Amino acid sequence: MRLAAGMEHRAYPTVDAAIRAAFPVAGGPLDARGIDYGHAGAGTTGPWQLAARLDREARVRAIVGQLPEQRQRVLVAYAHGASYRAIARRLHVSSSTVHRWHRGDWERVRERLLEIGLL
């Protein structure tokens, strides 16, 4: 049986693409508090596509949301193109701490996305 347009499974190509889709940032990559939920599901043309896209984005937000706030901000900022150094300055921690957080958390998010079939 064929599914209606938008109901078919569409995986994200990368972890960063999944994070960018789930956390559209307004105001630049370091403004993780300025997440633009008004554009959630943007780019869909029908109700099934919108529902499927919102479901995928909600799953990514739930996975990333299990992390402490600062570590969520690291993942979101890096996915939107910020450097470790810029993120470290913004969060008032060392670049090595940001690098360690990102590497470990990115891998955990990747594993969960693979488990649920979104990668």
pLDDT digits (tens, 9 = 90+) for 37-69: 555 555 556 666 777 777 888 899 999 999 999
In this model, does residue 92 exceed pLDDT 70?
A: yes
Q: Is the pLDDT higher at 30 or at 6?
A: 30
Number of Cβ within a 10 Å radius of residue 69: 10
Residues 113 and 55: their CA atoms lie apart, in Å, by 13
Compute the average pLDDT of residues 101-106: 96
Lowest mean pLDDT among 26-30, 46-50, 82-86, 98-102: 26-30
In this model, does residue 22 exceed pLDDT 60?
A: yes
